[in-house]
Amino acid sequence: MRDRLRNVLAGVLEVRPEEICADMSAEDVAGWDSLRQLEVMLALELEYGVRIPADAMLELQSVPAIEEFLTEHGAG
């Protein structure tokens, strides 16, 4: 997984970047609740300059899903 994404997730979820692994999803992280989900999405938009539609904001709840979205949208 790219360091850039790792750092964004770690910053919002208040964990160390090493704790973010490639197949992680919201259920695996204690603090990754619905509020954090929105904050993760806003942080990704700022970092990658993408616009995430409302439905995707709810669905992108794992590292693989986020990576796929970013690749599809030509970011990162």
Would you tell me which residues interact with another protein (CB under 8 A)?
11, 14, 34-35, 38-39, 42-43, 46, 52-54, 57-58
What is the sign, positive or negative, of the torsion defined by CA atoms of 42, 52, 35, 67? negative
CB of residue 35 vs another protein: minimum separation in angstroms? 5
Q: Closer CB to another protein, residue 23 or residue 35?
A: 35
Question: How many CB atoms lie under 10 A from the CB of residue 18?
Answer: 8
57, two tokens: 């904001």
CA–CA separation, 37 and 26 (whole Å): 8
Q: Closer CB to another protein, residue 30 or residue 35?
A: 35
Q: Closer CB to another protein, residue 23 or residue 54?
A: 54
